Amino acid sequence: MKDYSECIGYLKYEGSSVADGYLDARKAADALMGFDESIRYYLLKYGVTDDFEIPVRIRKGSWEALIPNTLLQWVVTATGAGATMYVVTAAAQVAKNDFQNISLGELIQRALCRIQKSIKISKHLEGKHASDVSGTIINNYTIVLPGRNGSKLEVTKEELEDYASFPPIILSKMASVITDDRVLKLGLVKKDHVIEEEIGVADRKLFYKEKDTEVELLPELKDGAIVDIEGMLTRGNTRTNSLGLEYRGYVLTCKPEQGSVEVYKSFLFTKCVVRGLVDRTTSRKEKEKKPHLIIIEITEKDKDFGQPRMFNTKNP
C-alpha cells in the first residue's frame, strides 16, 4: 500500500500502460485540467472564487497527481497571505457557521468527497437523471436507490440533489484518459484511511463526452428570451465587467446592459433572482453552447439581509 500521509487527495491512473509512471503529455494535461476544474466547481459552491493555484506532485508506480497537505503554505507562497485570507473568508461568509474555522485543505477534501459521491451514484444509476429514478424514502434524510440486478444504494437527500445538479461533462477530461488497460481512481485521504472511487472502461461512457457531440447546454434558455433565474452570484470581475451566476451546476456569465458591475459588489455570495435577456451569440455572432445573460435587474433573495432590494443597471 502506497503512503499517502503527505497529501489530502489525489487523481490516479492505474494499469499496465502507466506502470512506469509515464503518460502522454497531452493526456496528462487533460487529466490535470479536469482534476482542477472539478474541484473548483465545488469550491465555487462554497464561495471560493479566487483564482489561486492548486499544486500537485506527480509520482510513478502508477500515474498519480497528489495534492499536498501543505496546500495552505503553498497558496501563501504563490499568491500571498491576503489572497488566502480572502479564500477562507469567502467560504465562511457563504456557509455562515458551518465553515467558520475550516481550512482551505478541508474545503478541497469536501469537494473531493462530493465528486466521489456523484461518481458512485452515476455508476449505480448508469447515468440516469435523478428525476428518472424512483427511490424509496426511509426518512427525511435517507433514500434508497434501485440499481441493476436488484442492487441498492443508500444516499442522503442532499447527495441526491447534488448528483442531480452535477454535470457529468465536468469529469470528461479526466475520463478521456481511461482505456482498457488504464483505470481512473479519485482518492480522498483521511487521518487513518484512504477512500477511493474508481471509473473503469465500462463506466467511461457515463462521463466522457466527445467534443464534437457536446449538446447545447441549458436548451430551455432560448436565445432572445427574457428569463428570471434564481441562483447564487459567485464571482464579480470589474475587468470584464461581468458576474458569475451559479445555476443548475453551471456558472453563467452575466453582464449589465449598461453601467458597471460594481453596483452588485455587496451581493456576491448571496442567492438572487436575476432577470435578464438570454444571449447565445459571441461577439462574432457565432452560436454558443452555453448561454449568457444581459442583466435587466436583480432581486436579492437572501433573507438574512432583510427585505428584497431591486437594482436596475439602467440606473447604476
> pLDDT tens track of the chain, all 316 residues?
688 888 889 999 999 989 888 888 888 998 998 898 888 888 777 766 656 677 788 887 789 999 888 765 555 444 444 444 444 444 444 344 344 456 677 888 989 999 999 999 999 999 888 778 888 888 878 889 998 888 999 999 888 888 887 777 778 989 999 999 999 999 999 887 899 999 999 999 999 877 644 567 788 888 889 999 988 887 777 778 888 888 877 788 899 888 888 888 777 777 789 999 999 886 555 677 889 999 999 888 754 433 333 333 333 3
Q: What is the domain partition of the chain in residue ranges?
A: 7-213, 226-312
What is the CATH code for 226-312?
2.40.50
- In three-state secondary structure terms, 132 is helix
User: How far apart are the C-alpha atoms of 173 and 146, rounded to whole Å?
Assistant: 29
pLDDT at 71: 64
Beta-bridged to residue 89, according to DSSP, are none
pLDDT at 6: 85
User: Could you tell me the three cell numbers for 214?
Assistant: 457536446
pLDDT at 250: 77
Dihedral, CA of residue 190, residue 193, residue 199 and residue 201, to nearest 10 = 150
pLDDT at 166: 77
pLDDT at 269: 74
Q: Specify burial of residue 185 (Cβ count, 10 A radius: 0-12, 13-18, 19+).
A: middle
pLDDT at 211: 62
pLDDT at 70: 73
pLDDT at 227: 93
**Strands (DSSP E) found in 248-314:** 250-256, 271-281, 287-300, 310-312
User: How far apart are the C-alpha atoms of 265 and 250, rounded to whole Å?
Assistant: 21
pLDDT at 47: 66
User: String of b and e for 4-19 (b: at least 16 CB within 10 Å)?
Assistant: beebbbbbbbbbebbe
Nearest to 56 by CA among 118, 112, 116, 113: 112
